[in-house]
Chains A and B, each alone.
Chain A
Amino acid sequence: MQQPFTIEQFYRNIAQKKLTGGKCLKCGKIHVPPRSLCDSCLSKEFEWVELAGTGKLLTYTVIHVAPPQFQSMAPYAVGIIQLENGVKIPGIIREVPFEQIRVGMQLTIDYEAASTGHQWPQWPRYYFKPVPA
């Protein structure tokens, strides 16, 4: 049976170190996270596609005042990354000093296997880091 096109399944795939989306079979739009109803053409037919985890930084911020569960990490950078096929995804940016972060720089996805210790949701985390030279 086909995996459901849900946020939960997206994160199950992240746990397998796979960045995936649902591609609409009617209009071709790739949804990250996947949806069961295409917001563009209202189609209900999709297929899973695996996405290259590398893309361009569109914008970013450095969070200094964080919610309680992120306070120990602050300050940390969060950006919006546009992948090679146009799909956009937000993520925390690591392994680069803040002053070297630039709009337009290339970043690549990184996975963290460790459990988050949350009761709900028990989603694995992903991050972005500079493309190794």
Chain B
Amino acid sequence: MRGKPLVSIVSAGLSKFGKIEGMYGRELFAEAAKEAFERCPNLDPKRDLDALFVGHMGESYEHQGHTGAVAADWAGLIPIPAARVEAACSSSGVALRMGIYSVLSGLCDVVMVGGVEKMTHRSTPEVTEFLAMASDFPFEQWNGMTFPGLYAWMATAHMHKYGTTETQLAHVAVKNHYNGSLNPKAHMQKEITLEQALTSRVIAWPLKLFDCSLITDGASCVILTRPELARKYTDTPVHIIGSGHACDTIGVYEREEFTSIRAARIAAREAYEMAGVEPGDVDVAEVHDCFTIAEIIAYEDLGFCNPGEGGRLAESGETSLKGNIPVNTSGGLKAKGHPVGATGTAQAYEIYLQLTGQAGRRQVADAEIGLSHNVGGAGVTATVHIYRRG
């Protein structure tokens, strides 16, 4: 079983990420679906697709729930069986997992998994409140906690335990903004300096504006099939060879430790074991940098360095495009943007581009093994997927 493809990605699509005025979530999803259909002329979507799973976090943004059917409708796929998958910021990472289940069950041959969120038409306090709904209500929200606040708890604890610095956090932001400047679909395509990051206004101390990912509109999707059918649809499939998924307590305050995300460690172990891959084998990774501290903790949870060394790894440049293990080549949530429900399959989209040599100016030379790490809430849900060039 180790290293054997679970499913194969035969196509992928991504809407432009950003402040997309005048377009709703369903219309963004249609943009992503169009790209995936165009990339795969051998696929007849109405005939071949057996199911659709759509990650979507909140009906509050657009006063619109029931997103599975809405997305199916606007992608022209009615009456396909479709369902919304909700796991906060890991909604579409979990949708990807559901897609793998559905293909491996034998019930489906070809499925579309994706995600969507439309956020920028709302005020920052409203978005802050809607996002916080994915955290514990009776104790954390009730005490005025926000998502930046929850990750700030982790940052304070990491700094206290390991001596991680605000400058090390800022290095993550500078790197991801540089990568975003090379991605024509990124929300922010502008480089920033360490100075700018360090002097930006405080959101939830010790996290500042440039430690936070962006409030973004966007949609993403990938099309999965059984590995033995992949060549029917494309000459350049990408195989998913490992998948991990785990949960933790809804209340961050209950955890044993605040410097690591246990669900991500468990999901990573499951995915690495299934794939027969070691952290050192990974050529390119997309990790859940909803906040700069989250990328540093991801380095540690994924085994790219030892616990406590994430800040120094960020500073070393080894995770930049020219480094040993390029991380968030797309610009990450930080610069590409974080339309929460769309993020998990947007990461899969980037890995698909990288492993098929279609990543343009941010291409990692000869990338063969990729990894995506998608976290919902403050470490409440995590999925890790490992990919191999077909």
Contacts and interface: CB of A to CB of B under 8 A. Distances in A.
Contact of A66 (B128, B155, B205, B207): B128
B66 interface: no
Contact of B132 (A67, A75, A98, A103): A67
A66 B139 contact: no
B139 to A, nearest CB: 5
Interface residues of B, number: 36
Contact of B205 (A62, A121, A125): A62
Interface string A110-133: 000000000001010100000000
Interface residues of A, number: 33
A36 B149 CA distance: 29
B138 to A, nearest CB: 5
A48 interface: no
Given A80-B153, A89-B253, A90-B253, A66 B125 contact: yes
B281 interface: no
Contacts of A80: 153, 252-253, 258
Contacts of B128: 65-67
A7 B129 contact: no
Q: Taking chain B's interface residues, is the majority helix, strand, or loop, or is none over half, making it mixed?
A: helix
A15 B45 CA distance: 59
Nearest to B202: A64
Contacts of B156: 59-61, 103
B129 A68 contact: yes
Nearest to A10: B138
Contacts of A90: 139-140, 143, 145, 251-253
A7 B138 contact: yes
Contacts of A89: 139, 253
B2 interface: no
B326 to A, nearest CB: 30
B112 to A, nearest CB: 35
Contacts of A67: 125, 128-129, 132, 141, 144, 146
Contacts of B145: 63, 78, 90
A60 B202 CA distance: 14
Nearest to B206: A61
Interface in B55-94: none
B154 to A, nearest CB: 8
A10 to B, nearest CB: 8
Nearest to B137: A121
Contacts of B132: 67
B98 interface: no
A59 B205 contact: no
A61 B125 contact: no
B294 to A, nearest CB: 14
Contacts of A58: 157, 258
Contacts of A121: 138, 142
Interface string B124-166: 1110110010000011111111101100111111001000000
Interface in A72-106: 73, 75-76, 78-80, 88-92, 98, 103
A65 B204 contact: yes
Nearest to A90: B253
B46 interface: no
B190 interface: no
Contact of B144 (A88, A92, A98): A92
Q: Which 10 pairs of residues, A with B, have the shortest CB-CB distance? A: A61-B152, A62-B205, A67-B129, A59-B157, A70-B144, A90-B253, A59-B156, A80-B253, A59-B153, A103-B160
Given A80-B258, A90-B143, 13 more contacts: A59-B154, A61-B156, A63-B149, A64-B201, A65-B148, A67-B129, A67-B146, A68-B129, A73-B144, A78-B143, A80-B153, A92-B144, A121-B142
Interface of B: 124-126, 128-129, 132, 138-146, 148-149, 152-157, 160, 201-207, 251-254, 258
13 contacts: A59-B157, A61-B155, A61-B206, A62-B205, A63-B146, A65-B203, A66-B146, A70-B144, A73-B144, A78-B143, A80-B252, A90-B140, A123-B142
